[in-house]
Structure formats: structure tokens, C-alpha cells
Structure 1
Amino acid sequence: MRSSGFSLWNGRRVEMQHLRTTAMIAAFVLGYACPWASAFNWLIRWLIVVMMFLVFLQVKVSLREVRMAHLKILGANVAVGMGSWVLLRSLCGDELAQAAFFTGITPTATAAAVIVNLLGGRVDFAVSAFLATNFGMAILLPFLIPVAIGNPAPGVFMSVVNSLLVVIGIPLVAAIPVRLFYKHASELPKKYKNVSFFLWVAAIFLIIANASAYLHSQAHLSKTILLEIAAISFAICVFNFWFGQFLGGKKFRREASQVLGQKNTTLTIYLAMTYANPLVALGPTFYVLWHNGWNTLQLHMYDRRRHQRELKRKRNTP
């Protein structure tokens, strides 16, 4: 009975994961086919604000649990972003280098805590990584973005600060009174998790539509650049999940891999579109497919091992 219940639960979760993967792929395809939807790109910022608001309802902002491993992960974000930018700028030119920069510099996603929990890891480590990397990058990005886009003027610095205040500051400030005066506020994101997901799907659709419109307007661009950006994004994803294992030590090996690999792409997609162009924003956008694909595979392998242990325990029980 217990084994049957576990199988049913596992089957439903896999089915939901497949549905979400299908929805994301559909957003990519439809967005590319509908460049006219780029007229609604102003909605992207506010979709992100709503999603970040739901994040801050769920995550208590406290940096007291930040460990040295979290600072190493923050340093890795900077190193991967800036390192890949320096390398590709000398080899491939500005657009591919900037796509790599905005992909590598992306901080931890709050959903990393969910995956860590499903994999049997320490959720508190993942939550602290989200706080350390997101607030750390919010401080560093106003200095790093002007360098990456080749425009270190003070006006660009202030513009990046203003953008971050909108997409992080507004939802953070709005979430504080809701958490104070509504005791069940932290349960709202779970209750409306499907709403949050489809807001994200809508944002992906608009992001790809913007990239499609940009490609159609730039006749000189080779279509192979899409494959090059996808390949760069994939390489960064593989490196992050692999390298993250070494940052958490033996105790937090799995958790550090996940929090370096699973990215808050909503933030850097918006910044890339604002300060570079929609083509550059495809770097972190493709990353959405890669890290979700790896998460799906991880969960499948973990559930399979867990199910095998359950069957073995049942056989060994007299």
C-alpha cells in the first residue's frame, strides 16, 4: 500500500513536470513565430515584479545563516560571468560574450530550495544561497554591467540601480507589510504556484518574441548565432552544476551544485533586454531549458533510487 501510494505520487509529479516542460517549449516556439508580440515587451518587467513579490512572501530575508560556502558561490557567479565574457569577447565578439556574461552572472533561483528539498538536501542552505547571491549580485551588477556592455558612464550605473530597485526593491517592500499583517502570507506562493509558473511562461513567450523581432530586423545576422548562444548557455549550465559540487565541501556537495546551477533567470533576462538586446537575453533564456532539463533528470534518478530502496526494504522485511 505504501509502495503503491509512493508510485502514484511520483507519477503525478513526473506528469506535472512534463506538462511544465511542454509549456516552456511551447512558449519558445510560439514566441519565435509571433514577433508582433514584442509590442507588449513592457509587460515583462511587471510580470517579474509579481513573481518576485511571491518569492519574498515565501522567503524570510535574513542573512544570519550565510556561510563561507555561500560567499564562494557568489564569487563563482562573478567569476563565471566575467570569465566567460573576457574569453568570448576575444574569440567571438561582443554579442556572444554578453550572452555568456548575463548567463553566468545570474544568481540562485528561489526554486533551487524546492529541488534541494525533493532531493533530500538541506533547504536552509539553499534559501541562504538565494539571499546571498541575489542581494550580492544586486550590489555588484551596477558595477559589472556597464563594463560588460562597454559603457561605464555614471548614468548607466544609476540606470542599473534604478532597474534593480524596481524588480527587487518594489516586491521586497510590498511583501514586508503583507508578511507582518497576514500570518498565512508564506503559504500564498504554494497556493498560487501554478499562477506564478504561467506568469513565467508568459514572460518567456514575450522574451522570445522580442528576440524574434530583433532577428527579423537584423538581416545581416546569421541564424547560426542562435545555436551558438544555446551552446554557450548549455556549457555554462554544465559547468555550474559540476563546479558547484566542490564549493559546498563534503557536507553540502549536492546543495552547492544545485544553487550554483539553478538560476534566477528572470532577473538577468530583464537586465539583458534593457542594457544589451533581445538576442543577448537568449543566453539566460536558453538556460531555463537546460537547468530544468537537468532537474527533471535528477528527480527521475533520485525517485528511481528511492523506489528501489523501498522495494528492497519491503523484500527484507519479514
Structure 2
Amino acid sequence: MSKFIRFIKNWTLPLSMGIGAVAYLVFYYVEALEGLSQRLAPVFDSILPLFMFLILYVTFCKVDFKKLAPVQWHFWTAVFQLLFVSGIVVAILFLHIIGKELILLESILACIISPCAAAAAVVTLKLGGNLEQMTTYTFLSNLLCALLIPVCFPLIEPASQMTFWSAFSIIMQKVCLVLVVPMLLALLTKSLPLLHRFHQWLIHIPDLSFYLWGCSLMIVTGTTLKNIFHAQTSISFLLLIAFSGLVLCLLQYAVGRLIGRFFASSIEAGQALGQKNTAFAIWIAATYLHPLSTVGPGCYILWQNIINSIEIWKRGKYKA
């Protein structure tokens, strides 16, 4: 029994993805469930933000807010992201890339330009990294994203009619809802004497935020498969986008860990650069880029969680 529980703990993320994938495939192929799937779709769409809110709230309850401050590796990971984004945009403009090649590069760009995932702090904590450094970088990464998107996207998709301030304000509103509100509630929970016992009870539940994230991953995996199954293009092109996402994911994790080694923060920098807010990436791709470019971030979420699972397994093996 203990081996089974340890297996569940080590492989929570792939098990969540597997359950989400199987559930979607059942609803997709069984015609009798079509009506039920249409009724459940909006329910899951509304549940997912709630999961993300609870995940961040529980995580922020463990944060020492006095230690939130930028450190050196924050600067260098941001520089790499800026250079990578600039390289993609310059290539599209100067090489006059169009057609499927443009869609492929847009899907890659959506994964690069999107901010660090809010759940990256959860994995960093699980891996023994610094929670405060990751929390700080999450905010800085979202600010950088809000500055880059209104500058870059109108250059490659002039038809989007995006203005800098409108896009900036929309993104910052989303950042406030997703990050700032749960952080303020966590700060309130930590500060009020009346909530002291609740706060202590909450932070002493082992890996609560991690397992909440595993539940949300089931929904995200099903949504990802839905986008892939309904993509109006050839299988070979979908496989090309998926493979590009894998290469990009490995590259960003590797570069992040390389940067982090110079500052004794390889875990934090690797997660910061590699683990992306793919839900946000899918939203910006669907809103401002070609609809097919959403497949890239959809595949990226599968790759990054496979990597996270391997990291967590290695961490557990090392501790044992």
C-alpha cells in the first residue's frame, strides 16, 4: 500500500494528464455522451479559474512576503526571453514568412512570450527551491509579457488592430485577478489573529497546492486534446508543431538551469524559463494570432508537465 501511495505522489502529474485524456476520449468517441459533454464544458471552464485561484492562495499562504525581492538570475532569464522573442519577430519580418511557416513560428512565439506559470512556484517548492524568488519572478515575468505583446504582435499580425495601451490594460487586469487577488487574501489570512489557526491548519496540509494543481491538470489536458482534435489542418503539420513545442520546452528548461547554476538557483531559473502559463499563451494566440497557433501552447503544456514529473521523481529518488 505504501508503494502504491508513493507511486501516486511521484507520478501525480502524468496520472492527472492520463485521466484527463481518457475522459475526453470517452466523451469524444461515445455518441451517447455528446449531450452531457456539451453541458459539462461550461462547468469545467468555470471550475478551472477557481482551481488556479485556490492553488495560488494556498501557495502564497506559505510565502514570507518580507523576502520578496528581485535577484540576479531574474534579470538574465528575462534577457534571454527578450532576445528569443526579438529573434522570432525579426525572422518573421525580414524573411517575409507567410503560410504554414508563419503559423509554426507564431505557435513558438506564443510559448516563448507567455509569462512564467503561476503554478511554477508549486513545483519549485516540491523540488526544494526558493518559493519567494519564484513568486517575485512570476510577477516580473507577467509585467514583461504585458510590455512585449502589445509591441510584437501588431508587427506580425497587423490585422489584429491592437493598440499598446488596450492590450497592456487587458493583460494587467488578468494578472491582477490571477495573481494579485489571491496574494492579498493570503496576506490577510497571515496577518489577522482570528485566522491564525486556519492559516496554520492550511499550510500544514502536505502538498495541498500540488494536488489541487493535479486536479486542474485533468481539465487542462482535456481542453488541450479538444483543441488538437478540432484543428483544421493535416496530421503531419500538427506533429511538426508538437515536435517544435518539445524542442522549445527542452531548450528553455536547459537554458534556465544553465543560467541558474551561476547563481546557485538552477531549480528556480529552470522552472521560471521552462514552465509557462500555457492557458494564457492559448488565450493570446487565439485572440491576436492565427487560430492554429493555439496548438503549440496546447502541446507545450503536455511536454512541460512530463518534464516536471521526471524532476519530481528524481527529487523523490534523491531524497530516498
Q: Is the TM-score greater than 0.5?
A: yes
In the other structure, the counterpart of 1:137 is 145
In the other structure, the counterpart of 2:174 is 167
Distance 2:312 2:16 in 1: 14
Structure 1 residues 279-318: aligned runs within 5 Å: 279-307=292-320
Distance 1:27 1:81 in 2: 36
* 3-state SS of 1:109 partner: coil
Q: Is the 8 A contact 2:55 2:119 kept in 1?
A: no
Q: Could you tell me how far 1:107 is from its partner in structure 2?
A: 1.9
Q: Is the 8 A contact 2:160 2:288 kept in 1?
A: no
Q: Could you tell me how far 1:62 is from its partner in structure 2?
A: 8.0
Question: Would you say 1:237 and 2:244 are equivalent positions?
Answer: no
Distance 2:70 2:157 in 1: 31
Of residues 8, 11, 18 in structure 1, which corresponds to 2:7? Answer: 11
Q: Is the 8 A contact 1:103 1:268 kept in 2?
A: yes
Deviates more, 1:51-60 or 1:224-233: 51-60
1:52-108 Cα shifts (integer Å, max 9, x gaps): 433552336889511121122122223333434544774662211110100111222
Q: Is the 8 A contact 1:38 1:209 kept in 2?
A: no
* 3-state SS of 2:115 partner: coil
Distance 1:300 1:172 in 2: 28
Unaligned runs of 5+ in 1: 308-318
Give the letter aligned to residue 11 of structure 1.
Answer: F
Question: Would you say 1:206 and 2:229 are equivalent positions?
Answer: no
Q: Is the 8 A contact 1:241 1:257 kept in 2?
A: yes
Of residues 270, 278, 287 in structure 2, which corresponds to 1:265? Answer: 278
Give the letter aligned to residue 115 of structure 2.
Answer: P
1:21-48 Cα shifts (integer Å, max 9, x gaps): 31343367568769x8799987787556
Give the letter aligned to residue 257 of structure 1.
Answer: G
Q: Is the 8 A contact 2:257 2:270 kept in 1?
A: yes
Distance 1:137 1:64 in 2: 20
Give the letter aligned to residue 94 of structure 1.
Answer: L
In the other structure, the counterpart of 2:288 is 275
Q: Is the 8 A contact 2:72 2:263 kept in 1?
A: no
Distance 2:26 2:259 in 1: 39
The TM-score, its normalising length taken from structure 1, stands at 0.75
Tell me the matched-pair count.
297
In the other structure, the counterpart of 2:21 is 25
Identity value in percent: 21
1:106-138 Cα shifts (integer Å, max 9, x gaps): 222233223223333323222222222123212
Distance 2:48 2:66 in 1: 22
The TM-score, its normalising length taken from structure 2, stands at 0.74
Give the letter aligned to residue 263 of structure 1.
Answer: K
Distance 1:12 1:199 in 2: 16
Q: Is the 8 A contact 1:237 1:290 kept in 2?
A: yes
Of residues 231, 239, 255 in structure 2, which corresponds to 1:227? Answer: 239
Q: Tell me: CA distance 1:195–1:12, structure 2 relative to 1, closer, same or farther (3 Å).
A: closer
Q: Tell me: CA distance 1:263–1:24, structure 2 relative to 1, closer, same or farther (3 Å).
A: farther
Q: Is the 8 A contact 2:127 2:312 kept in 1?
A: yes
Q: CA RMSD in A?
A: 3.8
1:213-269 Cα shifts (integer Å, max 9, x gaps): 3x3xx4xx3321110110111111110111112322151123212221111212111
Of residues 107, 126, 133 in structure 1, which corresponds to 2:115? Answer: 107
In the other structure, the counterpart of 2:69 is 65
Q: Is the 8 A contact 1:112 1:259 kept in 2?
A: yes
In the other structure, the counterpart of 1:312 is none
